[in-house]
């Protein structure tokens, strides 16, 4: 058990870049966590971390050993779950980050059910449209919209989603509907802004290849809920997820265009670090979201 604790202390400190942050994760004091790492270094006879009062960095031996520690801890947890499935109940803090709009309405909204079934878990949410590194920031689970290709993460599909270009019938009546991707340059396009005012490209496929289109207009915002409201007000052309506007599309309040260029999928995904064990709290929260989203009529 002591070796397990020492390795877990080392892995957490390395991933979070701070003894204090790692200690918070393990619910122990920084000095206790530091002693565990020192005991590990003493037992191995090597220095794993360079530590000062203000800075911490990996040694060459530490970088090599970190990979093996992650694999051992993952394998240990998998064996425990296989031999003692009844002990794989959810406990501890579950930290989740999600985009603001989907997180507000379709992730945080299901916490009550999850907690009622897993009362020993404490849930911590961060709703943000800024990109963060879940490993560096210490999140157990990240909700993303769109394909995830980072090999360092495991991606699980939560719900089917597509991105569509849409506007109100009155907008199309006044300005016409775009027929090609080049036509977007003549439209007032609703853009998602990022830090520094940069606009997010609209993504399509043409002749089987991905295409990113820069758009412009006199409306932009970083909040999806505001963007969906603006397009429904007939102010502009938008590129939105079907989960956001499915009811308006079904009712005819919004109409799509350029469907022939739409990406085949832009699904709602749950991702977690590949090197970390899939804990019961993460698995059960993913299962809760999947079950909710699979209910007939959920997205309408």
- Indicate which CATH number applies to the domain containing 150: 3.40.190.10
pLDDT at residue 18 tops 90: no
Mean pLDDT of 112-117: 95
Tally of structural domains, the chain = 3
User: What CATH number does the domain containing 45 carry?
Assistant: 1.10.10.10
pLDDT at 76: 75
For residue 196, tell me if it sits in a domain.
yes
The single residue listed with the structure tokens 């439209």 is 187
Mean pLDDT of 19-41: 85
pLDDT at 188: 94
What's the DSSP call for residue 199? B
For residue 299, tell me if it sits in a domain.
no
Mean pLDDT of 43-55: 85
Phi, psi of 265 (to 5 degrees): -155, 150
Rg (C-alpha) for the chain, rounded Å, is 23
pLDDT at residue 88 tops 70: no
pLDDT at residue 89 tops 90: no
If asked whether residues 96 and 229 sit together in one domain, one would say no
Mean pLDDT of 259-279: 87
pLDDT at residue 260 tops 70: yes
pLDDT at residue 198 tops 70: no
Mean pLDDT of 19-38: 84
User: Could you tell me the residue range of the domain that residue 102 belongs to?
Assistant: 89-159+267-293
Q: How confident is the model at residue 2 (pLDDT cuts 50, 70, 90)?
A: confident
Q: How confident is the model at residue 293 (pLDDT cuts 50, 70, 90)?
A: very high
Mean pLDDT of 156-160: 93
pLDDT at 106: 95
pLDDT at residue 52 tops 90: no
If asked whether residues 37 and 108 sit together in one domain, one would say no
pLDDT at residue 54 tops 90: no
If asked whether residues 193 and 142 sit together in one domain, one would say no
The torsion region of residue 194 among left (phi > 0), alpha (psi -120 to 50) and beta comes to beta
For residue 280, tell me if it sits in a domain.
yes
Residue 131 or residue 188, greater confidence: 188
SS3 221: strand
Element at 94 (helix H, strand E)? strand 92-98
Residue 160 or residue 24, greater confidence: 160
């Amino acid at each position: 058990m002591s070796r397990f604790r020492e390795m877990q202390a080392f892995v957490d400190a390395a991933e979070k870049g701070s003894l204090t942050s790692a200690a918070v994760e393990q619910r122990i004091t920084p000095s206790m966590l530091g002693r565990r790492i020192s005991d590990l270094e003493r037992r191995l006879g090597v220095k794993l971390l360079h530590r000062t009062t203000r800075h911490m960095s990996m040694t060459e031996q530490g970088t090599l050993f970190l990979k093996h520690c992650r694999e051992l801890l993952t394998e240990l947890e998998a064996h425990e779950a296989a031999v003692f499935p009844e002990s794989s109940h959810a406990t501890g803090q579950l930290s989740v980050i999600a985009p603001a709009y989907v997180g507000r309405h379709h992730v945080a909204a299901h916490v009550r059910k999850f907690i009622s079934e897993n009362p020993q878990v404490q849930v911590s949410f961060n709703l943000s449209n800024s990109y963060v590194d879940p490993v560096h920031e210490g999140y157990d689970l990240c909700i993303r919209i769109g394909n995830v290709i980072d090999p360092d993460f495991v991606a699980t599909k939560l719900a089917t989603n597509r991105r569509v270009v849409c506007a109100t019938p009155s907008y199309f009546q006044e300005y016409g509907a775009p027929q090609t991707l080049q036509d977007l340059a003549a439209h007032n396009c609703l853009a998602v802004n990022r830090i520094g005012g940069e606009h997010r490209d609209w993504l399509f496929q043409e002749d089987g290849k991905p295409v990113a289109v820069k758009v412009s207009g006199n409306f932009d915002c970083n909040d999806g809920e505001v963007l969906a409201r603006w397009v429904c007000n007939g102010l502009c052309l938008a590129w939105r997820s079907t989960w956001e506007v499915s009811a308006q599309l079904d009712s005819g309040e919004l109409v799509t265009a350029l469907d022939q260029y739409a990406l085949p999928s832009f699904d709602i995904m749950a991702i977690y670090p590949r090197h970390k064990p899939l804990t019961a709290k993460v698995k059960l929260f993913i299962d809760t979201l999947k079950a909710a989203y699979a209910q007939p009529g959920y997205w309408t």
